Amino acid sequence: MQFPLSISRESRDDAGFATKMVDACLSEAIRQTVSDIHFQPRRDRWEVFYRIDGVLHLAKSIPQDSTTSPVARLMSLAKLPSYMGGVPQEGAFQWTDEQNQPHEMRLGIFSTVHGNRAVIRIMGQGGAVLSLDQLGLDKNNIGRLKNTCDSRDGWLLVAGPAGSGKTTTLYACLQYIASNEKNRSVLTIEDPVESIIESISQSQLQPNSGLTLAAAMRSAVRQDAEVLLVSEIRDAETAEAVLSASMTGHLCFSSIHAGSLGSTLRRLVQMQLPTYAIRSGLRGVVCQRLLRRICEPCQSVGSSNANCDHCHGTGYRGRVPLFQLIEFDGSDFSQSIFNRIEAGASADELDQMVYEQSGSSLRGEANKLIELGITDANEVFRVLGRHA
C-alpha cells in the first residue's frame, strides 16, 4: 500500500526537508483516518507506516537526509529535549490540518541502532464519541450494558489488547449516562483524554506532575462523584482504589490489558486483591477485539481489488467489535467462577468453564460474524490466532 505523499526528490536537499516530511505525513494521515504513524529509521532511509483499521501499512520509504531528521522535528513540536539521547521520551503537541482544524497528537520516542524512532497517536481520529447504539453490538449486549450503566455501584472492566476499542466502549457508557441523567456527577481520570464528553468532568494526568493514578483516584472519591472512570488499571494500588470505590456507592469503569475473562480475573488476583472483594465489587467484564470488515465494493465483485480506492487494495475497510460480556450478579454461575478462582484455577480453565456454562466465547462470536459475511476467517485468525 502506497500513499501519494507530496515530498519531492529535490526537497530532500532543502533545509526544511524534515518539516515538509512531517507536514506531508500528518496531512495524509488525517485524510486517511490513520490512528498511528510510525517513523522508523533504517540504515539509509526513513520508513513511514500508517496504522489503519488496526493494521500497519508501509506508506512511504524516503532516503535519509544527513542534515535534518523528521523525529527531531517532532521532538521540537512536542518540546522534548534533544540532549537526552538514548532515553525513551513521551510528549504531546497540537497540529493544525489544511482545513485549519486542530488535532491532538501523542508522541513516543525510542532509541534504535539507526537513531530515534517515533510513534504518533492521533487522538480522536474516530470522530465524535459513539453512543452505545452505534457500537455495532447486538440488542442483547446493548441492553445488558445499559443495565450496568443504570446501576448505582459496582465495577465494569473492559479487557483487551491495545487498539481493541476499549476506550470507545467506555466513552459510549459515559455518553449514555450523561445523556440520560444530567444531574449525575461523573468524573474521569484519564491518561490522556481522547475525546471530550459534554456534561461530565474529565481530568488528564500530567506526565511530569508526579500525580499517580492511585493518588488521583483517592482525591476523586472526595469530589462527591457518583460515577468514576479510571482509563486503565496498571498496578495494584490503582486496582485496589477502584475496587474500594465500587463497594462504597460508586459506579466505576476502567480498562485493563488482558486477553480474556480468565486472564483478567487472574491479573486481579495477582495484584493481591482479595477474592471476596472482587466478588463483591466486580459487576462485569467485557472482553473485546476489533475485526476488519470486508470491503463492500470488493465484495460486490467477488474478490479484493488491488486498485480499490475504498480499501487501498487490502480487501477490508472499517471494523466491527467482537464482544463478550460476562456479568457477576450473584447467580450460581458467577459464584462458581469465584469458587474456582479460590481453588487456584488457571486463566484457561476459567475461560473453558465460562464457555461450558454460558456457551459464550470470542471465537463463537467471531464465527457468527463470518456467517453473516461481515468479516472472514483470515481476519479472525489474524486477531484471535488458533486459540480463543
- Cα-based torsion angle of the residue sequence 63, 65, 70, 75 in order, rounded to the nearest 10 degrees: 150
Closest CA to 201 of 224, 168, 218: 224
**pLDDT for 251-275, tens place per residue?**
999 999 999 999 999 999 999 999 9
> Which cell is 150 given?
443504570
Interior angle at CA 91, CA 108 and CA 189, nearest 5: 105
CB 173 within 8 A of CB 286: no
Strands across the sheet containing 102-112: 55-63, 45-52, 36-41, 115-122, 102-112, 89-96
The DSSP annotation for 45-87 comes to EEEEEEEETTEEEEEEEEE--SS--HHHHHHHHTT--TT-TTS
Quote the distance between the C-alpha of residue 254 and its chain's center: 12
**pLDDT for 327-362, tens place per residue?**
998 889 999 999 999 999 999 999 999 999 888 899
**pLDDT for 127-176, tens place per residue?**
678 999 999 999 999 999 999 999 999 999 999 999 899 999 999 999 99
Strands across the sheet containing 154-159: 201-204, 186-190, 227-230, 251-256, 154-159, 282-294, 316-327
pLDDT at residue 125 in the model: 65
List, in order of start, the domains of the chain with CATH numbers. Answer: 10-122 (3.30.450.90), 132-384 (3.40.50.300)
388 pLDDT above the threshold of 70: no
> Which cell is 349 given?
480453565
Of the given ranges (24-33, 161-170, 192-201, 244-253), which has the lowest mean pLDDT? 192-201
221 CB-contact burial (10 Å; exposed 0-12 / middle 13-18 / buried 19+):
middle
Closest CA to 157 of 385, 351, 344, 324: 324
| Angle between helices 166-180 and 139-149 in degrees, nearest 10 | 60
7 pLDDT above the threshold of 60: no
